[in-house]
Amino acid sequence: MEILVCVKRVPDPAENEIELNSAGNDIEQDDLVYSVNEWDNYAVEEAIQIVDKIGGSVTVASVGDEDAEEVVRREMAMGADKGLLLSDDAFENSDGKGIATILKAAVEKGNYDVIFTGALADDGAAQIGGMLAAMLDWPYASLVNVIEADDSKTIKVGREIEGGNQEMNDIDLPCVLSIQTGINEPRYVGIRGIRKVASVEIPQLGASDLGIDPDTVGAKGAKVKRVDYFMPELGEGAEILEGSTDEIIAELVERLKAKGGIK
């Protein structure tokens, strides 16, 4: 099975103090520590496990500048077979549709059975997987937390849905799946793996290589533009009930009754 996993380089929230820039339309980018998007990391791990089981190869692709090569190599050190860097000045400031357009062109350059994306990335829009599937006219499933694959033309996927429920679907290949965190436990990437891929050549494809009109992506092609970005004002903090367990429970019950939460 040939699997392409779309990965993104994002600020690591565990390593950064997030502040707004002076224009108030984005976060301050200077001195940020970056890593691979968490959801994408689970997607790569799942792809590697599938290929280990039934054969094939895993390719990781990232849209970004030269710094994005860092996360491509990191996922190759994890176990992906190949990498692609989709980089061009024309791609800068692409909106969701622009990113999906770039990825679609990369997919059409290859011969893939399944495309994995993370369920969402750092902007929280959760839109790339669905847009990409629509552009390719391929079946799509989001919030996937179970995958059962063999060498047939279909795979079984489980989805996390409302109310904590689970649904299972058979999906024809080729397809696009957005992977949820918790589907697996991503493996540790050691120094040995990083050194192994340090000198591997990673193809870099730009707009002309992908056959993309530069005016359809990037800032020129963006239909969605961020106009404001702000931290919400903090409200009053939560009240902490004190006392023994029985006292806290009794107080909580009384407050819920008073507010109509219980009768």
118 contacts 96 by C-beta, under 8 angstroms: no
Secondary structure (3-state) at 1: coil
Question: In the prediction, which pLDDT does 11 show?
Answer: 83
- Confidence band, pLDDT 50/70/90 cuts, at residue 118: very high
Q: What are the tens digits of pLDDT across the range 190-235?
A: 899 999 999 999 999 999 999 999 999 999 999 998 888 777 787 8
As given in the structure block, the two tokens for residue 70 are 């860092």
Beta bridge partners of 175: 114
Question: In the prediction, which pLDDT does 166 show?
Answer: 92
Q: What is the mean pLDDT of residues 45-56?
A: 96
Identify the helix (H) or strand (E) that includes residue 178: strand 175-179
pLDDT exceeds 90 at position 165: no
How much of the chain is helix, strand and coil, in % rounded to 5?
Answer: 35, 25, 45
Domain range 2-221, CATH architecture: 3-Layer(aba) Sandwich (3.40)
Q: How far apart are CA 144 and CA 146, in angstroms?
A: 6
- Confidence band, pLDDT 50/70/90 cuts, at residue 75: very high
Q: Where are the domains of the chain?
A: 2-221
C-alpha torsion 84→85→86→89, nearest 10: -160
Q: What is the mean pLDDT of residues 177-182?
A: 95
